Amino acid sequence: MVSEGDDAPDFTAPAAMPDGDITEFSLADALADGPGVLAFFPGAFTSVCTGEMVTFRDRLDTLQSAGANLYGVSIDSPFSLGEFAAQNDLNFPLISDTNKELIDAYNVEMDFEALGISGVAKRAVFVVDEDGTVTYKWVSDDPSVEPDYDEVEDAAAEAA
């Protein structure tokens, strides 16, 4: 279980970028540009996930003003994430975890047993400082609950 004060699991994964490109994303490389906010979400094109990512989009200036960068993470393919970003004008990278390595490394895997769906991300947020240390963690077992956006912004500012 990744906790505050732990080294964030490093990773390289495909990402849908705001310009429409799909590229390789490295957490270590991204942290060279400042702290990162990793926002795990269960699935693109679902109502709560769309609402969460749109809210983060609308509040991105506050995170960036604090010196932090935002990255969405889900098990969707980078192609699906690219379309999801385009349809919702998302202006931050969406990282594809189709192999479920990130949800495993961050221990945020959730199963919807009643629906027969396994291995999606819990709704979770991790703030990682430039040294790669987790400075904030929020994980919900209820996929209908969104994070406290003010709390995330405060944590990002503190990490910067």
Q: Which of 38, 49, 95, 134 is catalytic?
A: 49
Q: Which residues lie below 8 Å from residue 71, measured CB to CB, with a gap of 6+?
A: 15, 25, 30, 36, 37, 38, 39, 92, 93, 94, 95
Specify whether 37 is catalytic.
no
Q: Which sequence positions are flagged as catalytic? A: 49
